Chain A
Amino acid sequence: MSKQGRDRSRAQRIVEQQKAAERRRKVTLWTTIGVVLVLVAAGLTGWAISANQSSATAGKVVVPPTSVDNGTAFAVGDGPVIVDLYEDFMCPICHEFETASGPTLQQLAAAHKVTLRYHPISILDRASNGTEYSTRSAGAAAAAAVGGKFIEYHDVLYANQPEENSDGLTNAKLIDLGKSVGLTSDTFASAVNDKTYDAWVTQVTDTAAANGVNSTPTVKVAGKAVTDPNGGPPSPATLTTAVTAAAG
């Protein structure tokens, strides 16, 4: 190749390199813009979907007329010290807690020392193979409260608690359990089947989370969370001490 030929091919190569570099710059610019737009759109999608779900739920909320604490709980007893209980009927630790401390709480309520406020929340819907047992059972408990049998139904639900990560109890079984504690009306059965109070349960769960309740069981005596020294739910002795202290 002549010297002139070599120079030409070198010049050509430089031009090609510049073109390639220019192309890379353009591609980088546009892919950067693309990525940012995709991520912003994804985040906004999540926000929009969740806002939409919230307003859909809010539209369906039926507050049980017997509920207390701004319609987020059912009261047992009429004593001066308020004990708030946040429970999920799918939660095995709640069952253990009720077995260990339930009788003590009922005695304190019967002796007019405390008012128990049960907040049935649903944080374990993921643990029932998509049947949302936590929400269904809490909704059924609300229907039981309207029928005047909250604590009876609460106890029978724990006595028949399904395994975590099973389908949970069917609606038919929830209605049967209602019958076993005297909830024989069609009102109860149709409230369970029509999920009348399920949206309310979602709202109660949301209110509880806003108040810092992230797990079940959460027990608050006079507004203050009470646990055992090991961080677990309070024992009967711990509860009695806390109630006595709160009574002054």
Chain B
Amino acid sequence: MDTGQQRRARLGSAWPWISTVARLGLATVFLVAGGTKVGDLAASGRAVNAYDLMPYDVAKIVGAAQPFLEIALGLLLLIGLAVRLSAGIGAVLLVIFIAGIASAWARGLQIDCGCFSKGGELGAGKVPTYGWEILRDLGFLVLAGILLVKPRTRFSLDGLLMGEVEQ
């Protein structure tokens, strides 16, 4: 017989695996996002500037720091160090990105979000895809949310340091 208790126990043992998938997925997202921008920091600064939310000198610094921050966060998630904190910081970044895109949308700016590219303003005849970009970022936010609630994952440095026995 399949009692409720057994079902809960099975779900309980599945969580570390679900969280592991979420962790590796979010790690990939940040590594790819940072990797596509890190080769041209000036272009990354211009992409931030295209949002028209801060002075150019500030945008340049943000644009230069952001790819490295994303790659570092991706690596931390990949090895699974302080997963809850890393996921929390990732969630904060995603919320900032979503707010930025929404604000560009609301102001009718014609820009590429620069999420997985160096961004900038869109060429004529190209339609911004803000709705999809926000939806996609919300999907990533769900991954971060899973890790915030259930930070215990398999193959993580956290598990190793805590001295947890893998079951």
Query: Which residues in A have some Cβ–Cβ distance to B below 8 Å?
Result: 20, 23-24, 27-28, 31-32, 34-35, 38-39, 41-47, 49-51, 53, 91-93, 123, 125-126, 202, 205-206, 209-210, 212, 214-215, 230-233
Contacts and interface: CB of A to CB of B under 8 A. Distances in A.
A34 B42 contact: no
Contacts of B117: 126
Given A53-B42, A93-B124, 15 more contacts: A20-B163, A23-B162, A31-B157, A32-B82, A34-B81, A35-B85, A39-B89, A43-B68, A47-B64, A47-B65, A123-B46, A125-B40, A210-B56, A210-B57, A215-B120
29 contacts: A27-B162, A28-B82, A31-B81, A31-B82, A34-B82, A35-B85, A39-B73, A39-B89, A41-B72, A42-B65, A43-B69, A46-B66, A50-B42, A50-B60, A50-B63, A50-B64, A93-B124, A93-B125, A123-B120, A125-B40, A126-B117, A206-B42, A209-B46, A209-B49, A212-B52, A215-B121, A231-B124, A232-B124, A232-B125
Nearest to A48: B64
A215 B122 contact: yes
Contacts of A32: 82, 85
Q: Is the interface of B mostly helix, strand, loop or mixed?
A: helix
Contact of B68 (A42, A125, A126, A230): A42
Interface residues of B, number: 45
Contacts of A41: 72
B19 interface: no
Given A206-B42, A215-B121, A231-B124, A39 B60 contact: no
Contacts of B73: 39
